[in-house]
Structures are given as C-alpha cells and as structure tokens.
Structure 1
C-alpha cells in the first residue's frame, strides 16, 4: 500500500514536471513575442536620446554649440543632426566622444549597437531590437548558471519560466540602453566563474577573464559584481586552495588590466562623472526608500502601475498588499536557500545581493540619495533574488519527494506568480510610457498641447545640462518636424521673433519667471505641470 501511494505520487510529479516543461516552452515563445510587440510605441526618453547621439558618433559639445548660438531650430533638424547617422562618423568617434565627455559610460554597448544598426537600419524599432535580441540570450545564460550553481536542470527550467514573462526584464528589453547587455554579462561572468572554479583549467579561467572584461566595458557598476565575485572566491576557497586562488587572481588581473585605460579616464575625469550623477543624490525620505525597495523587488512578478512615486493611498491597497506578500516570500526563499544548500551555493547568492544593495542603500540612508531606489542600478540584486526564488519554487513544486498537499499549494502559487507576470506584461505592452521613462512621460501631454497651435516656438532656458537637451530631443520625436525650438544655456534671453504668436517655455522655475517679468516684462501662464511643466507666454504689445 505504501509503495502504491509512492508510485501514485511519482506519477503525479512526473505529470506536473512534463506539463511544466511544455508550459516553459510556451512562456519562452510568449516572452520572445512580447519583447518585439509594440517595441517602437514607447516614448523615446531622455536617456535613449543619449544612446542615439553616441551610436552615430555625435557629441554633446556639438549640441551645446547650438545652445550657445541660440538659433531657432526645427524638431526635424535636431533629430536629423543628432539622432541619425552622420556623414564620415566611425566607431572611433563613438569611443572618443564617450572618453572625452562621459567616461562613466564604457563604449561596448554603443559600439555593438552601431554595428547592429548598420546591418538592420537606424529606426527606433531596429535600434531597440538590439536590446530585445540580447535579452533572449539571457535565457540560456540563466539556465547555464543554474546548472553550475545548483547542479539542477529543474531549477534552470523554473528560472527560465519566470524570467521569460517577467515584466521587469521586458521593460529593459524594449529600450535602447545597455541594461539587457549588462544583465547578460552578469549571468555569463557568474557562470564562467563557477565553471572555472570547478574545472580549474587555463581555458576556463581565460573565459572568465573575457566575461569580466566585457562586463566592465558594458557598465561601470559591473565593478561591484567583480568585487563580489572576488569576495566569494576568498570566502569559499581560503588560503588552502592555493591553485584556484592564483588562477582566479591571474584571470581577475588580466580583466582589470585590459580595463585600466578606461578606468584611468573615469578617475581623471571624476568631476564630469560626479556632475552627471548629481541627480541621484537628491534627498528622499526613508519611508519612500523602503517603499521603493519593496516595490522594485515585486516588479519581477507584479508591475501594473507606471507611477514611479509612492503616494500614501497605496499603503492600504490590494496592490501594495500583494507587493508585501511577495517581499515576505523573498525573505522565506532566502531562509530556505541558506538552510537547504551548501555554503558554496548560498554564499554566492547572498554576497552579491548584499554587496550591491548595501553599497547603495547605506549612503542613501546616511547621507541622502536615491541610488538604491533606481532599479537599473540594482540589476545584480534582482538577478540573485530571481535565482533564490527559482530554487525555492523548483524544490517546493517538483524536486521535493514529500509534501503531497503542500506541493499542490506551491504549484498553485507558482502558476499564480506566472499569471501575475503575464497580466503585468499585457498591461505594459500597449502603454506609451512606463516607470523607467517617468520623467520623459510628461512630454506626451505637453506635446499634445503644443500641437494644438499652428506655429509654436518652444524655448528652453538653462538648457546647457544633459537633462535639458535630452528632454528637448525626447519631445522632438513627438512633435511635427517643422516645430521650432530655441535653446539657451542660461536665463539670458534677448528677444522673441515677431513671427511667433504662441511661445512656450519648458520647465520655467520661479526664479526664471521673476527674471522674465523684471527684465522683459513678460508674463507666462502655466498650461501643464507634473514632473515637468509647460508655460505659455501671455502676449501683449510690450512682448514684441
């Protein structure tokens, strides 16, 4: 009788496992399709305009010259000159522009995207499709890492199933930025490290060194991943495993040595780096940070709102209840991982979670800032959380030979999580914008207002910063090509041409309003305000 019940249980487990394998294939197909559906419908946000500027070999200094000259330009001219392929530009121009103007962004993604658009065209669809294509390579890379870390095909299968339709990875797969490539490199370097430690051969360590180099030349924050991997090797090998330590140090130093030229640029131009990331040091209340940490983790499974802020009314909503339940589930998954796996496994996950999370969260809490509230900065954290959840769900739903009724409940939970993910993706896909494009989202209603007027002029004062010109380029995609712009680096504006009867100001501060009133006797009226604001000049005889 006992053997009979075991046989029945095994048959049920086999049936679920075979069904889940089929479900995973279906989810992969759905995930592939979703990454390319409506890929050109999302707004081209400010950071993406930086991508288009760089991949075509253009520079910010060229664009700043337009600001200095303060000539009237059309939206079409701006896009043609600074968001399209230029004559005589090469990969050398891409690398040189980044090295001189913005070394915090290593050149690998921009060079690869340039080669991609040369093959497939320079449209928004073609450019974003590079990120979508790279995001598909995450599936086999994740499966390989699960094999190396857990020695389990089943964990790898569950991990792929939940990443294929994860709204978090979908969002970054559909934008022209480096984060899909960054995610892929994290997985590749992690798998390569574990493989090299297992085989301890020169070719395996050489592969790890290459993945380290690729990661560093994709995103500077990959350095935290590299440091975490070093800590992992030291903790798990110690001084006794001398051969592995020597091999690791050789591979690590080879990767770092090849990155030294770019690291030198970052160090010598640290003032430029700091200038471009000052926005992340804005003071954020601690309770908002705590909300952000919870919401961001939950976005792997559940993401139904594009709102990036966390108003009080959300505290008691069903939306926030689900988020908190997912956070509790994560803590249990971490506990389960530590309890059920050897130190070499759980330490690999927890070291990289802790290092990346704490190096950003501690400064935010002590000195103020929102670095830990920016999801793209914490991709290594979410990937390790993903691994933790995959292990828990695989064990509870398939691998464990016990828990008859509990196993059914865990299977319902797994299917429920996948259902939440699909619903989230279905909500995201038709939207024109989402939380990762929050600031630029206001360009949609502002552009709709401007397009109601026949011959408008849009003035951007204090437009010498990245946020200023990035936003101008972003809104240019939404306006008619003949729409006119005039850009100024400061508040020093002389005269508005008589040919324009409808004049708009982007993001006029109170200080700017006072200057316009005192120096020019100009009154401007607010026509839109959210994260950004749009103002319209009240024309009178004195305005001419």
Structure 2
C-alpha cells in the first residue's frame, strides 16, 4: 500500500490544471508582487501567456527577505515555512509545475513515519500503525493535497508531529520533551495558522486528562502538566510574534483574502459539504456537495455512505474499547477544528466547515480511529468472524486505490475550485 500511495502521488504530477491558488504560490515563492502584476499588465492591452508566466519565474534581483515581505503584506494568511522550502527547492531544480508541486509530494511522505509513530504513542500496536500508514497512503484527500503546491501536505505532517510530541511529553514529562512540543507548535504555526486551533485542542486534552488533580485538594491548583502545556504554548506564540506583526499590520488584507469563508450557505449545502468531506477520507470520485442529493451515481454514493458509516462507527469503537486518555485524544483531534468551524458557520454564517483543507486534522483523527478499528478487530476477532473485517480492509483498499487512480489521471478535480473548468475552456 505504501508503494502504491507513493506512485499515486508522483504520477501525472503536471497533468492537472495549475489552479488559482497554486499560481499565487509561484508568485510568492519567486517574490513577484500581485500589485506589481496588476500595475504592469492590467492596462487594457492583450497579454500573452509568456508575459504572464514571467511573474511565476525566479528573478535574481529578488531575495528571500523580499519574498517574506511580500508574503507577509499581500497574503499573510499563509505563513512562510512551506514557501521558503519551496523557494530553495525551486532554486535547485527549476520553477516548473512539476518541481513546484514535488515539494508538497516529498513533504507528504513524512506523514507515513509520523502516523506510525503516533499510533505507537496512542495504541502501542505495530499492526495498527501499519494499517494507519496504508490508510493515509491511499486516502484520496491526502493524495490530492500532496499533489497541490500549497502547504496542506506539510500541515498534515506538523499536526502529527505536534501530537506525537504532546503525548511523549505527557508520558515522559521532562522539560526537554515539553521543549520539543513547543518547537513542534512553532513549526505548525509557521506552516498554517489554523494549527493554533489544533494546539488549543491539545490544551483541552491536557486539562481533561488532568481534571481529577485540578481539585484534588481543598484549594484550586494547576497541575504541573497543565502548567507545562501553558508555558510551551506561550513560548510558541511568542516565537510566532514576527508573523503576528504582519497579521496585525495587514489585517484588512487578511480579511479580504479570507472573506469567501464568511459567504453563507444554506443548511442543506452545509450538510452536504460535511458529508462529502467526511467520505473523502476513504473515497473520492469527484462528486461535490452540489450533486450529493441528486439521484444519480448510486454506486459511488453508496461507497460514500459506507465510508461515512465506517468512520462514525470507528469513533464509537475507539470510545468503547480504549481508555479515556486514548479515545479523548482521538476524538479531540477529530473534532478540531471541525466542531469550531461548524459552530461558527451555524451561529454567524459562512462556509469555513465546508472547506476540506481546513479540516485535515479532523480527517487524521478519524483515520486513526479507522486504523484502530480494523487493526483491533483483525487481532481480536475469532477466526470464523475474521473474514468480515478482512472484507472491510479490502473495501478500504479498493475505494482508496480506485479513487487514487481516477484522480491521478484527471486534468481537474474538486480541489481546483474556481479553476475547475479551465481545461474545458482551454480546449
């Protein structure tokens, strides 16, 4: 499964349309300014392809400092770590579409050892670790974001790393381990700002697992573990200060670039988006939320229902079969930032919870639960019932590989958003 997952990530890497957001990646990596492009090209004349592509090419007169400044002033919602890595990668190998996307592909490979390590910290099971690797290797949503020149594959890795570091610091509570946890938070925050929500979820986990000792005496006191977490989190926020400066100074730009998340959807549209995104953990044949309730493609939609039921049952199974310290972690990871965004959309309106890329930590949490369900059932079930769970494992493999083959050979997919129909227009 691991080899298949690697192949599905690298095959036809330059085939899909290089969409709106990825073009911004190229401009940001090469330190080409959006305002500069508008001033130079939006003058009423016809602009050729070659002239546009010049704004996605490396320029010897633009250094790293200029890149960071332009990113911080024009697109501050995207912290710089991925873009710095991609800049140096492109300097080595060129700035073609394949090269720019290959950075995200290579970073996605780091998720394999990380998910295995996290399973060891949580479940202490080799078989569950390998099943988790297989699940994310052929998971369509991870394949898609591995092939996209954005920071989302790196965010999967940093989410897993910070989770590992937290559990290790709890198990071996030394200041060195808490220091590693703080560093992992810094790396996550400099990858994607929503890592802050994941960190708050970690804090909730620490408080809940420490709740018995908070009031263990007649007076309120904070346990050492909670204090260590708060110090680690505070250090991470302190080290994020340079980027927070850009965020505060350019907050209107930030609001403008994220304004689409506040455009309200109907309750039916939100429900459809939640269901579709949940199913994409295991199966994806490019069905979007607009067509979910249309009476067609019954086989694919049946597989989507199977994926949703399996994911929900896995969360229930983890709660039923593991200690609170285990299932609480899985549930909180699966719920952050999903629950927060759902509440925000329901209370104030918007579509934050409809964006799959914002839900990656939650998807990882559900995949951990599925890995535990399948692994535990294969280990514990009596021989006469094992074929059932072997069949479930085969179904997961078939859905994942089938989805991966379909999306890897396609020119466009739902992740391309506003650029979805560009291949048809170009044709």
TM-score exceeds 0.5: yes
Query: What residue number does 1:167 align with?
Result: 140
Report the Cα distance in structure 2 between the residues aligned to 1:311 and 1:326, rounded to whole angstroms: 14
Bigger shift: residues 95-104 or 258-267 = 258-267
Report the Cα distance in structure 2 between the residues aligned to 1:40 and 1:298, rounded to whole angstroms: 26
Q: Secondary structure at the match of 1:423?
A: helix
Alignment deviations for residues 165-188 of structure 1 (CA, whole Å, 9 cap, x no partner): 111111111111100001100000
Give the alignment of 1:158-237 within 5 angstroms. 158-237=131-210
Alignment deviations for residues 232-274 of structure 1 (CA, whole Å, 9 cap, x no partner): 1111124367332232222221111100221232234322111
| Among 241, 255, 267, the residue aligned to 1:260 | 241
| Among 46, 56, 59, the residue aligned to 2:33 | 59
Structure 2: which 5+ runs fail to align?
A: 217-221
Asked if structure 2 preserves the Cα contact closer than 8 Å seen for 1:284 and 1:369, the reply is yes
**Two-structure CA RMSD over aligned residues (Å):** 1.7
Offset at residue 206 of structure 1 (A): 1.4
Query: What residue number does 1:405 align with?
Result: 384
| Among 225, 228, 242, the residue aligned to 1:247 | 228
| Among 115, 129, 133, the residue aligned to 1:156 | 129
Offset at residue 68 of structure 1 (A): 5.1
Give the alignment of 1:41-440 within 5 angstroms. 41-67=15-41, 69-80=43-54, 82-238=55-211, 239=214, 242-305=223-286, 307=288, 309-310=290-291, 312-314=293-295, 317-397=298-378, 399-400=379-380, 402-440=381-419
Q: Secondary structure at the match of 2:47?
A: strand
Report the Cα distance in structure 2 between the residues aligned to 1:352 and 1:145, rounded to whole angstroms: 12
Asked if structure 1 preserves the Cα contact closer than 8 Å seen for 2:30 and 2:62, the reply is yes
Give the alignment of 1:436-475 within 5 angstroms. 436-448=415-427
Query: What residue number does 1:22 align with?
Result: none
Offset at residue 87 of structure 1 (A): 2.5
Report the Cα distance in structure 1 between the residues aligned to 2:387 and 2:79, rounded to whole angstroms: 48
Report the Cα distance in structure 2 between the residues aligned to 1:213 and 1:362, rounded to whole angstroms: 26
Asked if structure 1 preserves the Cα contact closer than 8 Å seen for 2:282 and 2:399, the reply is yes
Bigger shift: residues 252-261 or 380-389 = 252-261
Asked if structure 2 preserves the Cα contact closer than 8 Å seen for 1:307 and 1:434, the reply is no
Structure 1: which 5+ runs fail to align?
A: 1-26, 449-544
Alignment deviations for residues 410-447 of structure 1 (CA, whole Å, 9 cap, x no partner): 11111111111111111111111111003202222222
Q: Secondary structure at the match of 2:264?
A: coil
Larger Rg: 1
Larger helix share, 1 or 2: 2
Asked if structure 2 preserves the Cα contact closer than 8 Å seen for 1:145 and 1:190, the reply is yes
Corresponding residue pairs, total: 419
Alignment deviations for residues 78-106 of structure 1 (CA, whole Å, 9 cap, x no partner): 101x1111131111111100111221111
Distance 1:337 1:165, change over 3 A: same
What is the TM-score normalised by the length of structure 2?
0.94
Distance 1:46 1:406, change over 3 A: same
Report the Cα distance in structure 2 between the residues aligned to 1:316 and 1:359, rounded to whole angstroms: 32
Report the Cα distance in structure 2 between the residues aligned to 1:430 and 1:152, rounded to whole angstroms: 35
Report the Cα distance in structure 1 between the residues aligned to 2:335 and 2:292, rounded to whole angstroms: 28
Asked if structure 2 preserves the Cα contact closer than 8 Å seen for 1:306 and 1:433, the reply is no
